[in-house]
């Protein structure tokens, strides 16, 4: 029988199963007509504005939506955003809940959802999961075993690769949402900043001249740092792999296509990426 910290599940627990994520609400529309326009942006042709919006990150779009009713309607009626808002609200909830929205553009998200293959090197499997720090698809096998999906804590990344904390803070990362994760459904109650390990290694190679030099630098502070292998030892490491992952299915497959997958009722409001339910 499972203990108090784990639950059995046929699929690894991820952000899609998290109750805190599902409680985030997004305001979709307003019953009142707009009074003001987009200000200086209104001098641009609407077609040009429509071309620019997909290149904005989701956090910027979220803030722009709350400028006034005209901005809200302009973004809500954009074809790409409207599709995501109405067909994939769980994915948007997960992105804002983990505060990964500043690293994900509307274009990169829609492109990732439209693909089917795992983005991991040398893997050609169909991928049913979205890895949020880099906004790309990944298969369950790679997430569960590849070193590329071992996100590191801020201090661990800084000490292990000899990088200043300020540099690590600017790399793709997210904040974990308390809940159950991984094949065993282990409960993780602490909010942790998790940094994408590949981004850390690439930046460390630039900073030190090579990845080998970065690792040697980290080795000189062995007494202060926590080794990556220690972070991922046991059940805690197993669950951490799934804290930045959301199940999205495969377009055109048995799980549904891009336009119908994840269709849910309800509207969403982002609270600048922080988890919290607010009134509709």
Domain ranges of the chain: 15-247
Which single residue is written with the structure tokens 């929205």?
101
Model confidence band, residue 253 (pLDDT cutoffs 50, 70, 90): low
Measured in degrees and rounded to the nearest 5, phi and psi for residue 188 equal -120, 110
Q: Is the pLDDT of residue 173 over 70?
A: yes
pLDDT for 221:
53
- Pairwise CA distance, residues 264 & 35, whole Å: 31
pLDDT for 267:
39
Angle 262-264-268 from CA coordinates, rounded to 5°: 110
Length of the chain: 280
- Pairwise CA distance, residues 142 & 187, whole Å: 22
* pLDDT, mean over the chain: 81
CA within 13 Å, CB half, 105: 9
- Pairwise CA distance, residues 30 & 76, whole Å: 10
**pLDDT one-digit tens code per residue, 120-144:** 988 989 999 999 999 999 999 999 9
**pLDDT one-digit tens code per residue, 58-74:** 999 999 988 888 888 89
Q: Hey, which residues does 253 pair with through a beta bridge? A: 256
Q: Is the pLDDT of residue 258 over 80?
A: no
């Amino acid at each position: 029988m499972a203990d108090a910290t784990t639950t059995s599940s046929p699929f690894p627990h991820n952000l899609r199963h998290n109750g805190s994520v599902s409680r985030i609400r997004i305001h979709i529309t307003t019953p009142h007509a707009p009074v003001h326009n987009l200000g200086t942006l209104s001098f641009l042709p609407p077609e040009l504005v429509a071309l620019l919006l997909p290149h904005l990150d989701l956090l910027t779009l979220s803030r722009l939506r709350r400028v006034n009713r005209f901005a809200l309607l302009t973004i809500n009626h954009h074809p790409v955003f409207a599709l995501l808002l109405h067909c994939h609200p769980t994915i948007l909830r997960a992105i804002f809940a983990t505060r990964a929205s500043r690293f994900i553009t509307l274009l990169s998200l829609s492109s990732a959802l439209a693909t089917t293959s795992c983005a991991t090197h040398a893997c050609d499997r169909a991928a049913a999961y979205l890895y949020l720090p880099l906004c790309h698809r990944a298969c369950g096998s790679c997430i569960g075993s590849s070193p590329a999906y071992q996100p590191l804590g801020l201090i661990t990344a800084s000490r292990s690769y000899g990088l200043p904390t300020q540099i690590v803070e600017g790399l793709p990362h997210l904040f974990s949402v308390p809940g159950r994760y991984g094949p065993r459904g282990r409960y993780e109650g602490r909010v942790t900043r998790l940094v994408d390990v590949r981004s850390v290694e690439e930046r460390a190679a630039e900073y030190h001249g090579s990845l080998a030099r970065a690792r040697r630098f980290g080795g000189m502070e062995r007494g202060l740092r926590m080794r990556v292998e220690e972070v991922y030892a046991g059940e805690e490491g197993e669950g951490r792999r799934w804290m930045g992952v959301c199940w999205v299915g495969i377009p055109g497959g048995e799980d549904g296509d891009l336009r119908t997958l994840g269709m849910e009722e309800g509207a969403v409001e982002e609270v600048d990426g922080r988890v919290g339910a607010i009134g509709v």
